[in-house]
Amino acid sequence: MDQPKTLEAFGEVKTLMDRALQEDITVECPNPGSAVALRHSIYAARTRDRKQTERIYEEDDPLYGRSPYDKLTILLDEAKLTLTKHRLSAGGFKIKSTETGKDIKL
């Protein structure tokens, strides 16, 4: 199946992404498969937006190949999808060695 040619073809997905730029949002999908499909659509829309900026701006322009939606982090938890502007850092994670099972400090 071909991907849509313009960002406007993503309709509701673009609306979700625009809203997430204003405030963090969580979307409760009917099932985990729907959440994965929505995440894929968001990634595809963001990629399409980057491609549009490549046609609009020159290569030396800082906006070339970039999207305002690049600011969004997409978190998937079962059937919930959270769009946030907060970047993840290793500071909030507990990291263990898969070989020894011991905690690792960064």
The alpha carbon dihedral of 62, 63, 68, 70 has a sign of: negative
| Mean pLDDT of the 68-93 span | 85
What is the per-residue pLDDT across 41-50, written as a single tens digit (0 to 9) for each?
Answer: 999 999 999 9
The tokens 């673009």 sit on which residue? 14
For residue 55, the SS3 value is: helix
CA angle 69, 74, 78 (to 5 degrees): 155
Whether residue 1 is predicted with pLDDT greater than 50 in this model: the reply is no
What is the per-residue pLDDT across 46-80, written as a single tens digit (0 to 9) for each?
Answer: 999 999 999 999 999 999 999 999 999 999 999 99
Give the up-direction half-sphere exposure of residue 34: CA atoms within 13 A in the CB hemisphere: 8
Distance CA 50, CA 65 (A): 5
The pTM assigned to this predicted structure is: 0.72
Q: What is the CA radius of gyration of the chain?
A: 17
Whether residue 3 is predicted with pLDDT greater than 70 in this model: the reply is no
pLDDT the model gives residue 95? 80
* Residue 99, token pair as written in the block: 């070989």
